[in-house]
Structure 1
Amino acid sequence: MKFVMSYSCGKDSTLALHKLIKGGHEPVGLLVMVNQDMDRSWFHGADYELLDKFSDALEIPLILCPSSGEAYHLEFEKGLKRAIELGAEMAGFGDIDIENNRRWSEDRCHAAGIRAEFPLWQQGREKIVQEILSKDYCCIIKSINNRLLPKEILGKPLDAKIAERMASSGIDLCGENGEYHTIAVDGPIFKHKLDIQTGEVLDFGDRSVIAIR
């Protein structure tokens, strides 16, 4: 079945994409929501140049949806409809276990007229991280909550040692509460590793972000 992936560039949506592809489904596009005021993807902050690198490395076209916060849901639905025009019968999501998030995604799909699929649903947060590591995905830590994690891990790949450190600190290992965000730059479904460079660390008080391009 052809599908479109709601893609954040992070570890969870990448693993969900992996599962759908390995399940025999064919991706027609990566639906990426873009903050039109910042020209970067919502939540993970990938700029257009970095998004192009993802499309090239995965060999999947982008379906970019610039929006304001108020029109986010409407632009998402428009993106789904564009995917349907490309042949998509299903939309994939990386949601894990938060009911409100799943319901939002299902509502958008219902409005657009496409089936919603959640490959990671109720798989267990720790299990998901362990699966990402076991499949040798390289996921760079892009942002952290300064109150919960040290800045020294910014720009480093999520590995077993860092995951153990996170677990011992008592945070959610998947970062579902915003403890940290990653971008996936290599792994089994990538045709080649993204050519990226890390830059300065930007401190926003309770959150720090490393520039990646």
Structure 2
Amino acid sequence: MNRKVVVSFSGGKDSMLSLHKVISLGYEPIALMTTVNKKNDESWFHNISIELLKQVSLAVNIPLLLIECEGDNYEKYFENALNNMRLLGAEACVFGDIDIEQHREWGEKRCQNTNLSALFPLWKENREKLVNEFINLGYKAIIKKVNLNNMSSEFLGKTLSSEILKDIKATGSDVCGENGEYHTFVYNGPIFLKEISLKGHRNIMNNNSILLELC
């Protein structure tokens, strides 16, 4: 019997690559767990609509678990969800962090408090190697959010490719966007049963960032 896991899922390239890797290693993902901001019904960090997250869940045939969170009690809501997943058979939670120690410590603490293991399939891999691996596997990710302190608005709405990575690198930004230079939404790839159709977008200015609202 495969070991059951829950995936901390943002909808972006790193969490998708982590999901791909654990499936390849023989784990059984029983849920994509995404935190949602109660104020706007979008994913907490990547501002992805609940409707699109549901489409991803159907496309990869893995149930979606939405966690409505408030900033002050974020850890509490996250741990409550992990406890529920453990009761459903999950033995570990999968995270897409690469090399930021405080992010790993946060995930490990949540798992420690809920008697789960913490898995980090991308940990300490080369950032550029990982994003190239993601593209070479055949995944498609649209740039959903851009930090204007690092990159121009011209990158918004572009699908990651080898050429786009060269352009990102030329700005002096981390090619993987691990420092918050950009965020993505994955809409197709080898574990997808069908591509997600994207339409009806508009730009929203938010402090020093520009967002692409997808539907």
Superposition TM-score tier, normalisation by shorter sequence: over 0.9
Q: How far apart, CA to CA, are the structure 2 residues paired with 1:133 and 1:196?
A: 19
Worse overlay, 162-171 or 101-110: 162-171
Of all paired residues, the percent bearing the same amino acid is 42
The residue that corresponds to 1:188 in the other structure is 190
Kindly provide the amino acid, as one letter, of the partner of residue 110 in structure 2: R
Tell me how many residue pairs correspond in the alignment.
Answer: 213
Q: How far apart, CA to CA, are the structure 1 residues paired with 2:101 and 2:86?
A: 25
Please say if 1:209 is aligned against 2:211: yes
Q: How far apart, CA to CA, are the structure 2 residues paired with 1:75 and 1:147?
A: 32
- Show the 5 A alignment for 1:1-213: 1-213=3-215
Kindly provide the amino acid, as one letter, of the partner of residue 21 in structure 2: K
Q: How far apart, CA to CA, are the structure 1 residues paired with 2:83 and 2:199?
A: 34
Q: How far apart, CA to CA, are the structure 1 residues paired with 2:43 and 2:155?
A: 22
Q: TM-score, normalised by structure 2?
A: 0.96
Residue ranges of structure 2 left out of the alignment (5+ in a row): none
Worse overlay, 16-25 or 190-199: 190-199
Worse overlay, 17-26 or 200-209: 200-209
Q: How far apart, CA to CA, are the structure 2 residues paired with 1:114 and 1:44?
A: 25
Secondary structure of the corresponding residue to residue 68 of structure 2: strand
Q: How far apart, CA to CA, are the structure 2 residues paired with 1:68 and 1:14?
A: 24
Structure 1 stretches of 4+ with a deviation exceeding 4 A read none
> 1:26-75 deviations in whole A, cap 9, x for unaligned?
11001100111111111111122111111111111111110100110111
Kindly provide the amino acid, as one letter, of the partner of residue 145 in structure 2: S
Secondary structure of the corresponding residue to residue 87 of structure 1: coil
Q: How far apart, CA to CA, are the structure 1 residues paired with 2:89 and 2:197?
A: 30
Query: What is the Cα-based RMSD across aligned positions, in Å?
Result: 1.0
